[in-house]
Chain A
Amino acid sequence: MRLLGRAGGAALSLLMVAVLGFFLFRVVPGDPVVSMTRGRPTTPETQAALRAQFGLDLPLHEQFFRYFTSLLRGDLGTSFTFRRPVAEVVLERLGPTLLLVGTSTVIAVALGLWLGVLAAWRRGSAFDRVTTGVSLTLWAVPTFWLGMLLMMVTGDFFPSRGMRDTDTAPDFLSQALDVGHHLVLPSITLVAVVCAEYALVMRSSLLEELHAPYLTTARAKGLRDDLVRRRHAVPNAVLPAITLVFLRFGLVVSGAITTETVFSWPGLGLLFYDALTGPDYFLLQGLLVVTAGAVVVMNLLADVLHGVLDPRVKVV
């Protein structure tokens, strides 16, 4: 029942995302066709034809109807810039983003949770103070600035842009090595910012757990601290932390946009930035729907996961 409600809520959210996406980008001043043909000799006829091609000459309610019915079919419209279906363009850029976000999230979750656990366990120690201090500082660091700084400091050691060189040998090993080489700086940037948040969340989550009476019992049984931590406290504290990882997926998305922009990483974030400079409204609209949709789904997953993992939450 609870899950059904959640799923219903998520569906409603998706619907609202779709509506928001439309109105945000259609009810804006200006004629996109003029931007499309900027700086080139055009004729009024060509402009009118383009307007018709993109359905921009229709009344707003008809545009909305068209938009919505195609959305239901998975059609996100056509990009002004690329003259191709938005869904196709987005799909093309999904891989690099998944690689960057995936790698960074795994590292950030592992590192962040680990640091958080240690910090909470040794609450008040030098380690705790340093970890918390560093995490708070990193949380305050603008992602893009960290990226620029890393680029400046590392100089020639790492490539300054993109995902791979164009003249790398085509065999798998060379390619993988090349991508890995390019991945270092962007993932460090993304990990640093996201990991700080996870460490802080994990620390406070575990601190709450440590007050629980069963831990005292466990200690009274004579178990070593290390074991108490690993067998009892951590598993219970990890649950809310993991859920939070999913809930804070939006944070990762935001981080990815700026990181990809700084490092020219050819994923969705960079596409978003490029769409801004057009501005390619249909592409922006599609990206908003896709990213917000992904976040909504992630949140639903967090709910489900929480119910499955935590016996205290009843899933009936």
Chain B
Amino acid sequence: MRVKLGALLAAATFLVVSAPPAPARPPVVLKVAIVQQIDSLNPFLAVFQSSTEVGRLMYDPLTAYTAADQAVTEGLAHRWESSPDKLTWTFTVPDGKKWSDGVPITAHDVAFTYNLMLTDEVARTANGSFVANFASVTAPDDRTVVIRTKTPQVTMLALDVPIVPRHVWEKVGSVKDHANDTMPVVGSGPFVLTEHVAGQFIKLHANKTYWRGAPKVDELHFVYFQNSDAAVQALAKGEVDLVNRMAPAQFDSLQGKPGVTRNKAQGRRFTELVINPGAQTRTGVPIGDGHPALRDVRVRRALAQAIDLDALVQRVNLGYAEKGAGLVPPVFGKWHWRPDTSAQRPFDPAAAGAALDAAGFPRGADGTRFALRLIGRAGRAYDEQASEYLKRSMSDVGIALDVRLVSDNQLNEITTAATYDLAFSGWSANIDPDFILGLHTCAQRPGADGKGGTTDTYFCDETYDRLYARQLSEFDEDKRVEIVKQMQARFHDQVPAVVLAYDNALEGYRSDRFTRFTTQPAQGGVIMAQNGVWGYYGAEPAEHVAQAQGSRWIGLAIGGAVAVVLALAVVLVTRRRRATAEERE
């Protein structure tokens, strides 16, 4: 017995004094905090933002966007052209690009991927909308991909679809059951997935044969955090190197922290207040029970005028946002629209009140005109706070707001059934504005059975739809930009939703370990959640990577000391027991 205890003691002491053997040249590791789980590593199924980000690191798309100005650039294909009728697109995959296992990347891989999506509905789960208009995809030779579309499609250079290696995926029996976790996972991106431990972390290694050149870091680790609070703490302690999606208060808490640099970037995300304009199905049958007053565009405009957007940005976003205007966030430069002085709708409760009077909704005896329901998501900090402001703003113009913060699931149900008057919503826009504009067309409304709707606002406006169709087949980019701006102006004028703010993306990184990250766009851009993977790919380690591990060893020593004390206590107790036993005999 005593021998065993001695061994235990020795082991405990050993644990305390011995550090794990250090490898000769430690690899440069970039550790990134993510607060969202990885839903699937299968790029055809993954829909979470975290997973698509990892997917982009693993698989290059056909065409990519530059970091500097978000222009279309080389992906797997380096040349592309379209036929005069814009129905046939020919992409050229150059010689020399290789999968991470050394097999050359060919046009057949591209054709295989798209055809898999065209033939297998499960493979369309995540990115099906990109191929919905495809008629056929063929690869006449190793270098050429020919895509024929049913109607001219302007977004052919914005196909955000990971291209998978045919020689791996043709052996996959069922896409639905394929976890894609045979490590290392063969890919074409700058990093190769090497390990995934559910709920803990994901490890990727640099793809040394990447066609743009090997990344400057050796390993990229995504570490899972249950909440951004813990992630921010970990950044402050140096446990991770890069954190995004911080709340404003968390971002502020990092100010002046040694070794930490903050990046306040223009984000892709905007927050909006959706106004039920009298929801209908695609066939024009009214659904839901939106307040009838909101069908009057004058009332909707008055509501918009009664909201102090500047105050919302200052008090709810703590200044980390830009005042809302058009549907496309300002980060997308030329596509973004702001009202000129004539279209502007400055905050003016008096004018809003007068407009409501004129629309036939005078104040009642208690000063109230009518009551509206405002739906938000419980647990989303923005909704919880902004609803308080809106409640006050609306009561100032004589509208009583009944705020209902509900679970995600109930929010979905309420918006699907259109049983709301006002609701918070928000979207992340893509570089190509088609997706964000398409959310508001008549065709997006639900079918006769009330299902299958993907509309955001139940907006259905002939002018808007006509413009939408025009921009979709306008291949002159300057002209298309003009149409897209007209659409946003129309949207702003008809107010099916008020764009409240363009949220800043708040990021922070260990500048004592990494000197530079490539942002997209170059000025005021983001490191993570790009339309691409430049942030990780362009990460440059500092000359002397600081080893901020001192405190960690103190903790380990404390743990070891506790173990030693416990062992000693056990020894003492057993000895005492023995003594008592002897005494008795």
**Touch between chains A and B, by CB atoms below 8 Å:** yes
A35 touches B199 (CB 8 A): no
B409 touches A279 (CB 8 A): yes
Q: Which residue of B lies closest to A85 (CB)?
A: B177
Contacts of B49 in A (CB 8 A): 39
A162 at the binding interface (Cβ < 8 Å):
yes
CB distance from A301 to the nearest CB of B (A): 28
Q: A30-B410, A43-B454, A156-B237 are in contact. Are A168 and B125 (CB under 8 A)?
A: no
A35 touches B409 (CB 8 A): yes
A83 touches B45 (CB 8 A): yes
Q: A30-B410, A156-B551, A157-B555 are in contact. Are A270 and B584 (CB under 8 A)?
A: no
A83 touches B128 (CB 8 A): no
Q: A31-B451, A39-B427, A40-B47 are in contact. Are A53 and B408 (CB under 8 A)?
A: no
CB distance from B225 to the nearest CB of A (A): 6
Contacts of A89 in B (CB 8 A): 198
B144 at the binding interface (Cβ < 8 Å):
no
A270 touches B226 (CB 8 A): yes
Number of B residues with CB within 8 Å of any CB on chain A: 70
> Please, what's the 1-or-0 string for A212-226, where 1 marks a CB less than 8 Å from any CB in chain B?
000000000000101
Give Cα A267 to B226, complex, Å. 12
A55 at the binding interface (Cβ < 8 Å):
no
Q: Which residue of B lies closest to A51 (CB)?
A: B451
User: Which positions 121-179 of chain A face chain B at CB distance < 8 Å?
Assistant: 151, 154-169, 171, 173-174, 177
B233 at the binding interface (Cβ < 8 Å):
yes
Contacts of A165 in B (CB 8 A): 239
Contacts of A173 in B (CB 8 A): 15, 18, 20
Q: A44-B454, A173-B20 are in contact. Are A266 and B234 (CB under 8 A)?
A: no
Contacts of B130 in A (CB 8 A): 41
Give Cα A41 to B580, complex, Å. 76
B199 touches A36 (CB 8 A): no
Q: A31-B412, A227-B580, A279-B407 are in contact. Are A53 and B40 (CB under 8 A)?
A: no
Contact for B37 among A45, A53, A184, A274, CB less than 8 A = A274
Contacts of A309 in B (CB 8 A): none
> Please, what's the 1-or-0 string for A28-39, where 1 marks a CB less than 8 Å from any CB in chain B?
111110111111
User: Which positions 215-245 of chain A face chain B at CB distance < 8 Å?
Assistant: 224, 226-227
Q: Which residue of A lies closest to B407 (CB)?
A: A279
B132 touches A43 (CB 8 A): yes
Give Cα A179 to B81, complex, Å. 55
User: Which positions 296-311 of chain B face chain A at CB distance < 8 Å?
Assistant: none
User: Which positions 72-125 of chain B face chain A at CB distance < 8 Å?
Assistant: 121-122, 124-125
B221 at the binding interface (Cβ < 8 Å):
yes
Contact for A42 among B128, B201, B427, B551, CB less than 8 A = B128
> Please, what's the 1-or-0 string for B36-47, where 1 marks a CB less than 8 Å from any CB in chain A?
010110100101
A273 touches B226 (CB 8 A): yes
Give Cα A45 to B15, complex, Å. 59
CB distance from A96 to the nearest CB of B (A): 8
Contacts of A156 in B (CB 8 A): 237, 551-552, 554-555
A266 touches B198 (CB 8 A): yes
B224 touches A266 (CB 8 A): yes
B412 touches A162 (CB 8 A): no
Give Cα A184 to B413, complex, Å. 43
User: Which positions 1-35 of chain B face chain A at CB distance < 8 Å?
Assistant: 15, 18, 20-23, 29, 31
B469 at the binding interface (Cβ < 8 Å):
no
Give Cα A125 to B230, complex, Å. 43
Contact for B556 among A39, A41, A151, A181, CB less than 8 A = A181
Give Cα A279 to B406, complex, Å. 13
B408 touches A160 (CB 8 A): no
> What are 19 A-B interface contacts by the 8 Å CB criterion?
A30-B409, A34-B412, A38-B47, A40-B47, A40-B126, A45-B124, A81-B48, A84-B40, A89-B198, A157-B551, A157-B554, A157-B555, A159-B552, A161-B225, A174-B20, A227-B580, A262-B226, A264-B227, A266-B198
14 additional A-B pairs beyond A29-B410, A30-B412, A31-B413, beta carbons within 8 Å, are A29-B409, A35-B408, A39-B49, A41-B435, A49-B122, A53-B122, A53-B176, A81-B48, A160-B233, A160-B234, A160-B239, A167-B31, A264-B225, A270-B226
Residue positions of B touching A, CB distance < 8 A: 15, 18, 20-23, 29, 31, 37, 39-40, 42, 45, 47-49, 121-122, 124-126, 128-130, 132, 176, 179, 197-201, 203, 219, 221, 223-227, 230, 233-234, 237, 239, 407-410, 412-413, 416, 427-428, 435, 438, 447, 451-454, 551-552, 554-556, 558-559, 580, 584
Enumerate the 5 nearest inter-chain pairs by beta-carbon distance, A residue then B residue, closest first: A44-B452, A174-B20, A266-B199, A157-B555, A156-B551
